[in-house]
Amino acid sequence: MPILNSIINWINFKRIYQIDLFKKHPIDAQLEVFFDLIKEARDTEIGKQYDFKSISSEREFKERVPIRHYEDFAPYIERLRQGEKNLLWPGEIKWFAKSSGTTNDKSKFIPVSKQSLEDVHFRGAKDVFALYLKNNPDSGVLYGKTLTLGGSHRVNNFSNKSYFGDLSAILIENTPFWSEFIRTPSVEVALIEEFEEKVAKIIEESLDENVTSLAGVPSWYLVLLKKVLEHTGKNNILEVWPNLEVFIHGGINFDPYREQYQNIIPSKSMNYMETYNASEGFFAIQDDPESSDMLLMLDYGIYYEFIPMENFQEDHPKALNLSEVELGQNYALVISTNGGLWRYVIGDTIQFTSKKPFKIKITGRTKHFINAFGEEVIVDNAEQALNIATERTGANIKEYTAGPVFMKGDQKGAHEWIIEFEQKPEDFDYFMEVMDDALKTLNSDYEAKRHKNLTLEKPHLVVAKDGLFYEWMKQRGKVGGQNKIPRLANNRKYLDELIELQKRL
């Protein structure tokens, strides 16, 4: 182990030097990525379409290549899934990360090239530990294993030429053999699709391991860790894994879960490290334990642009380069990547909290959404599900809003809906059951979180008194004009205001 530590520390030293270099010269780093991307892709179908060979500046790139959403890429992706080559990126793309759907699709299938696997996703994971060890030089994390909790969809065949699954499953399938020595559970267990079975097997395999780190989504891990305590009869997780020292988390806002983690991991020396990664790429890492802001990673083969949210709804919104952004402004993130995504709107909004170096925080989504547990429910999902429920039950809805019920103690997570009916259904329980089932059909991530009530229990309903929403908007000074009732929120601000107002009416 001392030899391993020496080797890893030497590798980390080199990488930290490279990170410091792009922190000092961020614009140059992004320009280098930009020119590398268009040079690599110049002979692809999209490279020929927009004549990448003759592009000599970021301005020319923006003038020629349109900003795109998933729907615009879908025809290319369908062809890639059938085995066509050299469409968006050189060569064959065999892997597709299944992600939550858009307004038109239940699921998205994001292309994952060999380069994006190595230079983005794996590099990001390595950099997490490089930065952690820089901040914690006396860490014992390398003396134990990382407990990983993969996604709900293992790798499956589209055809004999391509495969799809959760990004976590794709990464596990492609990690080298030696990763078994630093990770638990085994690949076979990590790729079990049935969550309850997977959790049982993880507990069976991992209880006797020296687990020093956790890595994954907070809501799923909370379920797993509570199952561990239930199985062992222990009072807290440190009685099971006494050398546990860091939880590397991402995917959803950690703040609603922080108190619960502090209760089941009662150690002031326990570290929490946030990352910003998605099926489309690995974007940022918390590099300072004293601040929750994340360092934007600029040398992964991802070229960034930023649309000011005040201009996002325009037909042809202007996207800014890294050199043009301002602090404290909300931007929609646009990426061009070595996975073949060109000027792709990922759907997240961010703010810059620092420009020396460039650091960000995630502020939300480009549309109203609920993503408190990784379910990524958007307004279009909600509207379609409610339409199905009203048609099935004869109800008629005037107004509504929804948000999360956060996990607390033994209370599981849920969605809470406040609905003001024009015509009430005869059976409220049946109405919510139909809506819940419709959401599962429309959104694969919601379906996974609702599976057997493991993370999300059935949605809660508050029937609003007549006029509640109007009175609420009136008190907020938002009656008439272009003011709209927010349909979904990732916090309880609107829910709590409405519930409190309902008590007083």
Tokens of 505: 């009416």
**pLDDT for 479:** 66
d(CA 32, CA 29): 5
Under 8 Å CB-to-CB from 325, ≥6 apart: which residues? 306, 331, 352, 355
What is the longest distance spanned by two Cα atoms in the chain?
A: 72
Tokens of 363: 């502020």
**pLDDT for 103:** 45
Going from the first residue of the chain to its last (505 residues), give the mean pLDDT of each consecutive group of 10, the final group possibly shorter. 58 89 97 98 97 97 96 93 94 86 65 95 94 92 89 65 81 74 86 84 95 89 91 96 95 81 94 94 96 95 95 90 94 97 93 96 83 87 93 93 91 95 95 97 93 93 95 82 79 96 94
d(CA 402, CA 461): 9
Q: What is the pTM of this model?
A: 0.81
d(CA 183, CA 193): 19
**pLDDT for 411:** 85
Bond from prior residue into 486 cis (ω within 30 degrees of 0): no
Distance of CA 198 to the CA centre of its chain: 21
**H/E segment holding residue 130:** helix 123-135
Among 114, 41, 104, residue whose Cα is nearest residue 75: 104
**pLDDT for 102:** 47
Q: Is 339 helix (H, G, I), strand (E, B) or coil?
A: coil
* Burial environment of residue 20 by CB neighbours within 10 A (0 to 12, 13 to 18, 19 or more): exposed
Tokens of 183: 């990770």
**CATH code given to domain 116-285:** 3.40.50
**pLDDT for 160:** 66
d(CA 127, CA 118): 12
**pLDDT for 361:** 92
Q: What is the DSSP letter of 181?
A: G
